[in-house]
Structure 1
Amino acid sequence: MENTFALLLPVLIVQFILLVTALMSCIRAEHTLGPKWLWIIIIVCVSIIGPVLFFVAGKRRDR
């Protein structure tokens, strides 16, 4: 049991950091591709894939 927890702890830490970073980025972004409330739900509910999706497809890049 301790071995399993030791293996999962780094993954959980990375997931938490990614979640917080994506939420802060979404909240601070002036424009997103789609409504912000929907991106926040995706980031929170879709685990690791949600924040990655936001960074890849959700942030609008003004050039």
Structure 2
Amino acid sequence: MDTLLRILPLLIPVLIVDSALAAAAVAHILRHPYYHFGNKTLWLIIATVLLLFGPIFYFMFGKGENE
């Protein structure tokens, strides 16, 4: 418990940024139909289940160029 209280000030900003990135990824997935590979359902699952890395994977590898 003591360790959690020590890292909490560092963890809160990371969670806020990660949540904002996930929300941006989900909004982008829902608005755009073009992807490098996969489909809308696959990217929604990746962006929400892999919360820390899913949105980063989407913006790096899944976001289509024809937008």
- Taking structure 2 as the reference length, the TM-score comes to 0.81
How many residue pairs get matched?
63
1:16 to 10, 16, 19: 19
CA contact (8 A) 1:18 1:48 kept: no
Aligned identity (percent) is 33
- Taking structure 1 as the reference length, the TM-score comes to 0.86
Counterpart in 2 of 1:42? 46
Amino acid at match of 1:53: F
Structure 2 unpaired stretches of 5+:
none
Q: Which runs of at least 4 in structure 1 moved beyond 6 Å after TM superposition?
A: none
Larger Rg: 2
For residue 56 of structure 2, give the secondary structure of its aligned residue in structure 1: helix
Structure 1 unpaired stretches of 5+:
none
Give the superposed CA RMSD.
1.6
